[in-house]
Amino acid sequence: MKENIFYKFINSEFRLSPVVYLVYILNLMSCNGGLAPEPAVSEKKSLITGTLKFIGGKNSWPPSDSVKDIRVVAFKNYPPGDIITEILRQNASFTINSLPFFVDSATFTIEVLNPPVTFRYIAAAQQYDSITNWHAIGVYTKTGDKTKPDTLLIEKGKIYYIEIFVDFKNLPPQPF
Amino acid sequence: MKISTSRILYFFLLCLSIQVTSYAKTITINGRVFDEKSQEPLVGVTARIENTPFGAISDKNGRILIKSIPNDDYKLILSMIGYKTKILGLNPVKSDTLEFAVYLESQPFQTQEVIVSASKRLQAVQEVPISVSVIDSRSILQRSVTKLDEAVSYTPGINISGDDISIRGSSGFAFGVGSRVTLLLDGFPMLSGDLGDMKFDALPFFVSERVEIVKGAGSALYGTSAIGGVINVVTRQQKEIGETSFRAFSGFYSKPVYPQWEFAEGYQTNSGFDIGFSKKFGKLSALLTGGYYTDKGYTLYNDSYRVNGFAKLKYDFTEATDLAVAGGYFSDDHADWVYWNSLDSATKPPTNTDLTIRLISRKLALNAELKHIISIDNFLTFKNSILKTNFENNYPETSSDFRGSKALGYSSELQMNSSIMDSSMLTYGINFNFNSVESKNFGTHTQQIIAAYGQGEFKPLDKIILTVGLRGDYENTPSAKHYFEVSPKIGILIKFTENFQSRCSFGFGFRAPSIAERFSSIRYNGLDVSPNPDLKPERSRSFEIGYNYFIHSGDIPFEIDLSFFENYLNNLIEPKPLAEDIKKIKFMNITEAKIIGVELGVKTFLLGFLGIETGLTAMDPIDLSLRQTLKYRANIIWYSRCMIDLSICQFFTDYRFLNRVENIDHELLFYLPNADSRVPIHTLDLRLVLDLNKSFSLPLSLTINAKNILNYYYSTAPGNLAPVRFLGVQLDGKF
């Protein structure tokens, strides 16, 4: 490195040369809005990310007039109360936007605030009518037994990947 | 297969026997080319007779000599970088020599380029029914380009994600495996036999004449991989008079603005040197070049050292037969950087990375092309090429982290060009490709593709050019299924007036899975890639309708080009994590997609010194499987260039904008910290070129390059910071 002509030039008595001024001006011109390190005070996010897999593919979905919204919701309690109440009581974390309809699979991410948190019931939910009308269409379970949902402990700054299988012809037990 | 191959060969021999005709009375075209303003002779003007293989390059007196051609009507295309292309109509003469003198008009912004990639023969861009972009040698030379991604990054409709080049959204990010764009060097295939990827550094850019980019499915002529289009790097013709050229450049990257990103005390440099020589010795002409580049990198553990050499020899056996042989060797020793540690330490690899591990990559390309003019209306081209690629890291072969592969790609092609009447041209041929791979990671495998193709261009009316093409490819990979692909295409070009024309094309594309995609069994930065021999070829259909308007009002040229396109892609192969273990990856045919878009290009040259060129591509890339935006695709690509020409110096600005990519693989979040950190892309490059010939009578140019001058931090692939600000100086010259 020390043999390099630019290194010598930059570190020489020409430090105050127009080139250095140019570099200084360029630094002032540097564009904001690009990638930047996360603020030192911020903590890494705790995330649940994963995939919803629809058994039978996009042709297995119910009629379009019965699908208003699809979310993945992680509940602290099992069995949970109804979705809206649990969310209002801050007992549940959920995907911010609806997931896509009539697809073979869909990826999702839930940001979990105030970890560590234990979620005792994580489900994909379908809004089939008004905002209060939801039912579970898939449950997070490692064994495949829909009657035995698995618990997930979310720790600070960690990311958890899960998969939920949805079978519209064989829905899980309805907790809400 | 032996029977069908011999039948095809028999068909060709039959064609040849029918088409061989003796020359009637022949003449010599003897012309001189001058600069319109200075009246000085122009050296290096390329002259080609349309629809024939006849051509020449002007010597130091601006003289063009084309001997032994039949006395007939011709269109002579005269082109040179920096000058407006001229097409001369030549009529039969009574004497033995047809003489002409022509004055070319200086035009700093090229508007009427000639290309070879659209139809495998030289033709004006204005006669091609599909969108084409051409990057000229000046731009490549001045920007110190040594790799393909640097050359094409400012082209409308092109996006680069890591090692993947995407034309109009055809590709996303696939770790550089399985290119959906065919790469050619002087028409010879340059995709590797194992990964099916582009080796960005295995091209002799210092002696390139131009880079041609054909947008849209091109498998009707080029077969596998031309799903999104074709990139052809065309090297210079050998010079009549000896010419030695050189280029030396050096510069440094800016230090990181954020203290967390600092990783070295001094400045990281990027330097290189190229030398070239070209001369004709009687019937033998030669073009030689070599280069050495050293890049310390703008992140820790991202340095590289590269060496290349390239030679092209051409021997004219007779007026009608010549043989061109080319060979290139390209070596790259670079750090095995894959992705960052995290956004907080974006300039450093993951903390457990062994910084002594290097990845050595060597590429050897050998090409031979025999051209024989059977008659003025028929010429034959026989091409053979070998591309040998070899890469390995320096882990012991017994280690699970060892990565290495040796691949050999062989291609043979017999092509005929026949002009049936004045108004039609046929291009047809047979093509054999063979890939052989020996790798601990991919196994030992071969892949063969045998193809036959034909394309006809007809002029049913004076203002209409109709193109119809068809290609059939039979792919055979032992221990995988066999496939037969048919790729038709049709195109029409209507010249409403001399300055206004419309084009429309519809074509098919396919890509046979690479050996690496089918048979990978590799451990790569904590990921295990599993084989999938059942992969099917990817397919595409492209439709485009475009309009081109060119006017020359007084001294102001103005060109506007507008195109609407729709690409439908299915069976797209993508690496996907397995359900049972997210760290296990397999290549699978999973995506069906549609990309609808519009592309607008405008060029003009104002006030005699101000050139402006802009290209805007707006796309809606939809993943039809997931009903969401296709991963790793931007919706907006905007490129804008400005040039101020002050005679002794030229000042250029290049600006590029891509909106933030909407979707990436969410699974990456699991093992790649801050994989979803991405922003819109804004890059601004400045360039000042001083012509020392004009001010000091020295055959030199001095260029000051400032790349990404705003030092905008962005990524083009997950976990990878794109190049930061770079300031450099280049000196180049010709003797």
> B66 and B136, same structural domain?
no
Picking from A126-130, A148-152, B726-730, which range would have the lowest pLDDT averaged per residue?
A126-130
Assess if residue A14 is contained within a domain. Answer: no
| pLDDT > 80? residue B687 | yes
When the pLDDT of each residue in chain B is averaged and rounded to a whole number, the result is 88
pLDDT band of residue A122 (cuts 50, 70, 90) is very high
Q: What is the count of residue pairs from A and B with beta carbons less than 8 Å apart?
A: 109
pTM for this prediction:
0.81
**Chain A closest CA to B149's CA: distance in Å?**
21
> B572 and B538, same structural domain?
yes
Q: Does B628 touch chain A if contact means CB atoms closer than 8 Å?
A: yes
Q: Encoding tokens for residue B500?
A: 């206004």
Of B86, B104, B122, which one is at a domain's C-terminal end? B104
> B557 and B684, same structural domain?
yes
Q: How, if at all, do strands B208-215 and B229-235 pair?
A: antiparallel
B289 within 8 A of B275, measured Cβ to Cβ? yes
| Per-residue pLDDT tens over the stretch B442-500 | 899 999 999 999 999 998 888 899 999 999 999 999 988 899 999 999 999 999 998 89
Q: What is the DSSP letter of A15?
A: G
Picking from B509-518, B547-556, B595-604, B696-705, which range would have the lowest pLDDT averaged per residue?
B547-556
Q: Do A35 and B343 touch (CB under 8 A)?
A: yes
Distance CA B216, CA B595 (A): 11
> B726 and B644, same structural domain?
yes
Assess if residue B339 is contained within a domain. Answer: yes
Of B104, B132, B161, which one is at a domain's C-terminal end? B104
Q: Does B669 touch chain A if contact means CB atoms closer than 8 Å?
A: yes
Choose, out of B249, B712, B730, the residue to mutate when testing the contact with A (most A CBs < 10 Å). Answer: B712
> B271 and B242, same structural domain?
yes
Residue B280's CB: how many other CB atoms inside 10 A? Answer: 19
Nearest CB neighbour to A35, from listed B251, B677, B709: B677
> B157 and B74, same structural domain?
no
Nearest CB neighbour to B669, from listed A31, A34, A159: A159
pLDDT of residue B545: 97
E runs forming strands in B578-634: 584-606, 610-623, 628-629
Q: Does B254 touch chain A if contact means CB atoms closer than 8 Å?
A: yes
DSSP-assigned beta bridge partners for residue B600 = B562, B616
Assess if residue B338 is contained within a domain. Answer: yes
- Of how many residues is chain B composed? 735
CA dihedral A37, A39, A40, A42 (to 10 degrees): -120
Of B104, B133, B154, which one is at a domain's C-terminal end? B104
b/e sequence A104-123, b meaning 16+ C-beta within 10 Å: bbbbbbbebeebebebebbb
CA separation, residue B57 to residues B237, B246, B319, B543 (Å)? 8, 21, 15, 37
Q: From B79, B43, B35, select the one nearest B60 (Cα to Cα).
A: B43
- B143, with CB counted inside 10 A (0-12, 13-18, 19+), is buried
Q: From A102, A173, A36, A28, select the one nearest B709 (Cα to Cα).
A: A28
Assess if residue B235 is contained within a domain. Answer: yes
Q: What is the DSSP letter of A66?
A: G
How many domains is chain A built from? 1
CATH number for position B99:
2.60.40.4130
Structural domain of residue A56, as residue ranges?
46-166
Q: Encoding tokens for residue B725?
A: 């600000």
DSSP-assigned beta bridge partners for residue B106 = B83
> B138 and B89, same structural domain?
no
Assess if residue A111 is contained within a domain. Answer: yes
Distance CA B402, CA B490 (A): 47
pLDDT band of residue B609 (cuts 50, 70, 90) is confident
> B234 and B308, same structural domain?
yes
Q: Is the ipTM of this complex over 0.90?
A: no
Structural domain of residue B371, as residue ranges?
114-734
Give DSSP secondary structure letters for B626-653.
Answer: TTEEPTT--SEEEEEEEEEE-SSEEEEE
| Per-residue pLDDT tens over the stretch B409-445 | 999 999 999 988 767 889 999 999 999 999 988 899 9
Nearest CB neighbour to A163, from listed B579, B680, B710: B579
Q: Encoding tokens for residue B688?
A: 């000042």
Q: How, if at all, do strands B636-645 and B649-658 pair?
A: antiparallel
How many domains is chain B built from? 2
> B547 and B414, same structural domain?
yes
Residue B317's CB: how many other CB atoms inside 10 A? Answer: 12
Q: Encoding tokens for residue B338?
A: 């894959």
| Per-residue pLDDT tens over the stretch B182-241 | 999 999 999 999 999 999 999 999 999 999 999 998 889 999 999 999 999 999 988 777
CATH number for position B377:
2.40.170.20
Q: Does B250 touch chain A if contact means CB atoms closer than 8 Å?
A: yes
Assess if residue B109 is contained within a domain. Answer: no
**Quick one: average pLDDT of A130-144?**
89
A70 within 8 A of A124, measured Cβ to Cβ? yes
**Quick one: average pLDDT of B569-582?**
80
Assess if residue A18 is contained within a domain. Answer: no
> B316 and B271, same structural domain?
yes
